[in-house]
Amino acid sequence: MRQSLVIGNWKMHGSAASADALVSELLIGLAKLESVEVGVCPPYPYLPYVAIKASGTALGLGAQNCADQPEGAYTGEVSVAMLADVGCHYVLLGHSERRSIYAETDEAVVAKTAQVLAQSMCPVVCIGETLEQREAGNTLAVVGEQLGAVLAAFSAQELKTMVVAYEPVWAIGTGLTASPEQAQEVHKALREQLTSSDNSLGALRILYGGSVKAANAEELFGQPDIDGGLIGGAALKAEEFLAICAAAAKQ
């Protein structure tokens, strides 16, 4: 049995006041939910603050990015050890906004994954195709290559805490969602790739991301190979995010 997981990616949104209000509401709602693991990834400056509020609760904390080096003269970067120090468990890696706006390559994703694994934290490796790549019939090849880069770099034992997030680029922040069938087709192929790399990796969680909302969450999470979601816009509204978590808890 794979435990359902929902992670909220707040991106570069909010303020100390809005983070405070959002976490307060989430903690009340999540106290009533069982059978789902939930995490939030606030912007870096709010991490310690959210960590203090969420300490002793089931709400997990994550970062949206990390450095590819352990420490040193890397102005503007944040190491995974620092993230561990302030209570993070998850680190998002290779989000499509990092790949497209900041030119992050598969190599960079591998280097950052190594840092996360060295701290025994949970790498959430994001992969996904652009609309152009989908229309050219290359979806499975593109995501297969992105996941393959990570699988080739580490042993199955090292990757046992990894979470994969399939996020079609054309569905992120656009209001367009992959249909449950489209998403399931990709998740199934990813599961097969994990299993053929090492049987034990078939048990890893594969999240779907891209315009997930309360209205479509249940149908998406009901697919056999979709184990939860990585949520952007809808993670900023407590009621909406909690409804998505409730949909994952039902699976």
Q: Which residues are catalytic?
A: 95, 167
Answer for which of 45, 70, 173, 222 binds ligand PGA (CB under 6 A) is: 173
Q: Would you say 37 and 48 are in contact if contact means Cβ atoms under 8 Å apart?
A: no
Answer for which of 210, 228, 247, 249 binds ligand PGA (CB under 6 A) is: 210
Task: Report the residue number, 7 or 204, with the smaller CB distance to ligand PGA.
Answer: 7
Q: Does 119 bind ligand PGA (CB under 6 A)?
A: no
* Binding segment (CB under 6 A) for ligand PGA, from list 155-163, 178-186, 199-207, 226-234: 226-234
Q: Does 62 bind ligand PGA (CB under 6 A)?
A: no
- C-alpha 171/C-alpha 63 separation (Å) is 22
E-assigned strand segments in the chain: 5-9, 37-41, 60-63, 90-93, 122-127, 163-166, 205-209, 228-231
The residue sitting closest to ligand PGA, measured at its beta carbon, is: 232
Tell me the closest approach of the beta carbon of residue 74 to ligand PGA, in angstroms.
Answer: 25
Q: Does 207 bind ligand PGA (CB under 6 A)?
A: no
Phi, psi of 6 (to 5 degrees): -125, 125
Residue position matching structure tokens 């978590």 = 245
Answer for which of 231, 245, 247, 248 binds ligand PGA (CB under 6 A) is: 231
Among 10, 72, 96, 6, residue whose Cα is nearest residue 45: 10
Task: Report the residue number, 52 or 176, with the smaller CB distance to ligand PGA.
Answer: 176
Among 74, 67, 178, residue whose Cα is nearest residue 131: 178
Task: Report the residue number, 60 or 210, with the smaller CB distance to ligand PGA.
Answer: 210
Beta-carbon contacts of residue 148 (< 8 Å; ≥ 6 apart): 193
Q: Does 8 bind ligand PGA (CB under 6 A)?
A: no
Going 3 to 206 to 180 to 196, the CA torsion angle's sign is negative
**Binding region for ligand PGA (CB under 6 A):** 9, 167, 172-173, 209-212, 230-234
